[in-house]
Amino acid sequence: MVSSLPDALSSFADTASKPVVKHLIEETFPGLKTTGLKPLMLGGEFDTWEAAGAVIKFPRHAEASANLDTEIVLHEALVQRLGAMVPTLRAVGEPTGSFPWRTAAFDRARGRQGQTSDGPIVRPKPWARTSLAKEVAGALSALHTTPAKVAKTAGVPKREVDLGGVDPSEKTIAWATKIVGHRLDTFLVNPFPAGTPKAGPKVLCHTGIKGEHIYVSEDGTRLTAIVDWADVAVSDPALDLAGFAIWLGPTFVHEVLEFYTGPVDGGIEERAVYLARANLLIFMDRHLAGDVRASIPVVDAQLRAVFIPPEDPKRRR
């Protein structure tokens, strides 16, 4: 039995313990069973748990709570644009005496997760990549052409992308060099091709796309779900493409853009690749500084994906 608010909330914030989460679910979602309760991802903005086929998101701080509120408000519009690729919102839990913020329960995403928490990436066979690229292009095109008034009505924030260069720490450089070799130096010396436009259109973006948030069919030909919309923002569409670059690499981004019908400009592909590499290095810096948690196998796999060409044997390690 969970004790009073201070003890329960402290336990949840520190450890996301199963007994506390079970109590919170029973209190917040009386109709939701807690069978099969297990953690999916702990730390960062949310603690995310699965129970009885539902995925429950618990914000860990006020900023994450505000982001979840935006996701909830925008959910219906996202479903209208992307259909079943956006998991159904089962229920919204209001604050209780044991938890100060709203929570949300979603259906479990369909398909295979693009990258698991222990690192392996689902890599579609060559014959499946074109089909998947078309699916991704269709989804991004639908998202990025969402009417501006939809984002404004939902209170979606604007997010500028940083294209001013990156200066990773020596520890990050050593880590990345061990995985990708000389390719890191090449990027740091010349991150942007000369003359590349550094400004793009501003559209509704997921902004947090990566392998862990992407689900595909068993054969890898179809995109079945994109999850975790809490960081949705009005930004450069290159930011969403960057998420696919750290999953399947820059060549896949090029394939996607061949079918993409959203707003484009002459530098979108180069910005996407730059943002994928730079933001990954920044994330590694933050992990090494103790600001965020990272799965080392996941980061290593993302480094290989975004820096090493698919034909290189090092990519497959």
- Are 5-107 and 112-316 the same fold in CATH? no
Q: Which two tokens stand for residue 64?
A: 């994450």
**Which of 44-48, 103-107, 261-265 has the weakest average pLDDT?**
44-48
Of the pLDDT bands very low, low, confident and very high (cuts 50, 70, 90), residue 314 is low
Q: Residue 55: what pLDDT?
A: 95
Average pLDDT taken over every residue of the chain: 90
pTM equals 0.91
Please state, in angstroms and rounded to a whole number, the distance separating the CA atoms of residues 125 and 275.
26
Q: Residue 147: what pLDDT?
A: 96
Strand order across the 103-107 sheet? 38-41, 46-51, 54-59, 103-107, 89-93
pLDDT tens digits along 203-247 = 999 999 999 999 999 999 999 999 999 999 999 999 999 999 999
Contact 86, 110 (CB under 8 A): no
> Where in the chain are the domains?
5-107, 112-316
Contact 103, 228 (CB under 8 A): no
Please state, in angstroms and rounded to a whole number, the distance separating the CA atoms of residues 69 and 46.
13
CATH hierarchy code of domain 112-316: 1.10.510.10
Share of the chain above pLDDT 70, in %: 92
**Average pLDDT of the segment spanning 11-20:** 63
- CATH class in words for 5-107: alpha beta
Helices (H), 39-125: 62-82
